[in-house]
Amino acid sequence: IFQEQLIEAKEKAESAAIIKSHFLANMSHEIRTPINGITGLANLLLKSKLTSKQQKYLNAILNSTDSLLVIIDDILDISKIEAGKMTIEKKKFEIRKAITNLMEEFNLKAIEKGLKFNLEIDDNVPNFVIGDIVRLNQILSNLLGNAIKFTSEGSIELTVKVIKTTKTKVNIEFEVTDTGIGISPSNLHSIFKAFTQVKENISSKYEGTGLGLSIVKKLLDLQKGNVSVQSELHEGSVFTFNICYKKSPSNLLEVPLIERNIPYDLVSLKNLNILIVEDNLINQIIAQDLLADQGCNVKIATNGEEAISMFLSHNFDIILMDIQMPIMNGYQAIEVIRSKIKQGQEKTPIIALTAFAIEGDKEKCIKLGADDYLSKPFNPNILFGKIARLTTGVQLMSPTKKGNLKKVSDFSNLVTITNGKVKLMVLTIKTLREEIPKDISLIKKTISTKDWNNLYKILHRTSPNFDLVLTQPLRNNLRIMQENAKAKINLDQIPKLFRQINNSVPKLLDDLNTELKKLTNGQ
């Protein structure tokens, strides 16, 4: 009988924990929706003519809504972990890409605070691993968020490297370094406990719940990873953690797209035709206003059915799809749109916009065919970055790094092949300056006709030209295009790979001219 009572008590406790976790999940969603409204409208107000006082108040409102969202997410996660409901996925994901995508967001935050952000991913970190991308994002976001929060001067750095590799597994170490306020030795041991905030600096107050690091620790426990911290007061902190991932069977042709960083003003969103699918009037106003400001042509559908009929009757460069809508929701709309791929046209990219904080919903959007997702309320610059990447294949970089455009040219092969003979180099560059634009337009034309055999031949014939002057990553794009065209696989990657090359051509031609000037002046 005693045992029966125990079992009953245990079941009661478990169901209470589950009820609590459900309640919190629903509540968090209910709270998020009005916060979206507040954030969006405050952002719109910020753009109107304001006194400096009003501006300050508005910024304070936005800071408060940001903090509210973080708190809601933290409470939701802790309750899920405590209810034993936090599961760790074992799915293949692109780890390098996941990290660079995350950098997009934190680079902006760092710059807003006047901090530098450095990212270093070791070459031997694989492209694909098997594990949980959502949890990795969460851990990194927590640590990077703290690093930025507790640093007022200097820099933040994220380094990623492989510390051990076996036939089937790869152990990856992440290190987040900051030059911030640091933590005193007496407080170091307690910071991974829930609700712990250490007061190193009484004069300044930092917001937070003290939940972030305990969530990090628990998420790493669930993945059998470790986390440690080294810190010195007033000098900065280093948080190190590692996760052992299963290796993904390697597949040469699955090399991910090379993300190219490019300043904001080099890629404009001007004249993009964008369909916003959104039922909430306030959110419609916000999104339309933001995008119209960027010079986009915006059309609005208020539910999934409308979205589909507009998709069929217009040509859009990209669709922003809200998930929760009456009549037909976003999931259904994405599914229908993906089933109606228009003849002779590339797939229209879709970004799902969700107010859901519940795990699984974002993954569901991707599974149904969305290309990316963003939870509301979103940072406009992050939305612009995602739109740019999906419509041009180019990754936006923050404006302050302007001029630091990633290299597109590399003349080392040219020097080798000409044995450094200036006359020969000048002649070759002059020829390439004529030939490359012709090659590019031929490749472009052939891709549009989808004549893959011919594309293979053309790439085979023209690649020696590019080999002389393009950087290795871009040459890699060409190589993958060539292999894919020959084997007729992953054909939908080809236009994206090509777009990156096409986008580099103006810079490449510039570089050719500069090099030419250098060579002829030196004579």
Does 210 engage in binding with ligand ADP (CB under 6 A)? Answer: yes
Question: CA dist 322 to 115, 302, 366, 377, Å?
Answer: 34, 9, 13, 12
Is there a cis peptide before residue 377, judged by omega within 30 degrees of 0?
Answer: yes
DSSP string of 263-313, one letter each residue? EGGGS--TT-EEEEE---HHHHHHHHHHHHHTT-EEEEESSHHHHHHHHHH
The single residue among 95, 110, 170, 183 that binds ligand ADP, judged by CB under 6 A, is 183
The single residue among 209, 242, 280, 482 that binds ligand ADP, judged by CB under 6 A, is 209
Pick between residue 106 and residue 245 the one whose CB is nearest to ligand ADP: 106
Element (H, E) at 245: strand 236-247
Does 76 engage in binding with ligand ADP (CB under 6 A)? Answer: no
| Contact characters 291-330, ligand ADP, x per CB under 6 A | ----------------------------------------
Contact 437, 505 (CB under 8 A): yes
Site for ligand ADP in 185-204 (CB under 6 A): 191, 196-198
Site for ligand ADP in 138-157 (CB under 6 A): 146-147, 150
Contact 365, 330 (CB under 8 A): yes
The single residue among 77, 104, 178, 511 that binds ligand ADP, judged by CB under 6 A, is 178
What's the helix, strand, coil split of the chain in %, to 5? 55, 15, 30
Helix intervals (H) in 88-201: 95-112, 133-149, 185-188
Helix intervals (H) in 294-392: 304-313, 330-339, 361-368, 380-392
Pick between residue 150 and residue 466 the one whose CB is nearest to ligand ADP: 150
Q: Which stretch binds ligand ADP (CB under 6 A): 79-87, 120-128, 178-186, 261-269?
A: 178-186
Give first-to-last CA distance, the chain, whole Å: 100
Pick between residue 180 and residue 330 the one whose CB is nearest to ligand ADP: 180
Pick between residue 61 and residue 75 the one whose CB is nearest to ligand ADP: 75
The single residue among 40, 212, 225, 385 that binds ligand ADP, judged by CB under 6 A, is 212
| Contact characters 256-275, ligand ADP, x per CB under 6 A | --------------------
Question: How many residues belong to the site for ligand ADP (CB under 6 A)?
Answer: 20
Whole-number minimum distance, CB 214 to ligand ADP, in Å?
6
Measured CA to CA, the distance from residue 13 to residue 52 in angstroms comes to: 53
Whole-number minimum distance, CB 367 to ligand ADP, in Å?
31
The single residue among 208, 256, 263, 380 that binds ligand ADP, judged by CB under 6 A, is 208
The single residue among 101, 237, 302, 502 that binds ligand ADP, judged by CB under 6 A, is 237
Question: CA dist 506 to 403, 482, 502, 511, Å?
Answer: 15, 22, 8, 9
Look up tokens 């994405």; give the residue: 334
Measured CA to CA, the distance from residue 322 to residue 99 in angstroms comes to: 25
Site for ligand ADP in 320-379 (CB under 6 A): none
Whole-number minimum distance, CB 175 to ligand ADP, in Å?
12
Question: CA dist 125 to 88, 91, 172, 295, 432, Å?
Answer: 21, 17, 8, 39, 35
Whole-number minimum distance, CB 389 to ligand ADP, in Å?
29
Whole-number minimum distance, CB 188 to ligand ADP, in Å?
9
Contact 501, 485 (CB under 8 A): no
Interface contacts to ligand ADP, rule CB under 6 A: 146-147, 150, 178, 180-183, 191, 196-198, 208-214, 237
